[in-house]
Homo-oligomer: A and B are copies of this chain.
Amino acid sequence: MLEDKLTQTFAALADPTRRAMLARLSQGEANVSELAQPFIKTMSLPAITKHVKVLERAGLITKSRDAQWRPCKLRGAGLRDAADWVGQYRAFWEESFDRLDAYLKETAGKKSRKKKSDALLQ
């Protein structure tokens, strides 16, 4: 994945309105006004349109056409790219570890109580 695409993806996720839209879409397709519904008291429709566009350009959703409606659907691959990037660092939140320890466990170890430390970075 392009460096810049990942930037767009994380930027798109860095907004609670857009994350709520993804949450809504995880329950099924929705058109723009349906996505707008929870926010329409506090935000204009053009603002919603913009948020949807950010999600679309980031590859997190796809938008199609049905008469005057624009049904949107979640695009798993977009979220997977973000998950894959973050996943590189899994070893850093899986309890106690250090790289040597991890190396020993992965190669020769068998009795250590600590969890595995994945290879990190490209």
Contact = CB atoms under 8 A, between A and B. Distances in A.
A15 interface: yes
> How many subunits of this chain does the assembly comprise?
2
A23 B6 CA distance: 14
Interface residues of A, number: 39
A103 interface: no
Contact of A92 (B26, B87, B99): B26
Contacts of A27: 120-121
A114 interface: no
Given A26-B120, A76-B89, A79-B89, 8 more contacts: A9-B14, A11-B14, A13-B86, A14-B14, A23-B120, A26-B121, A76-B91, A76-B92
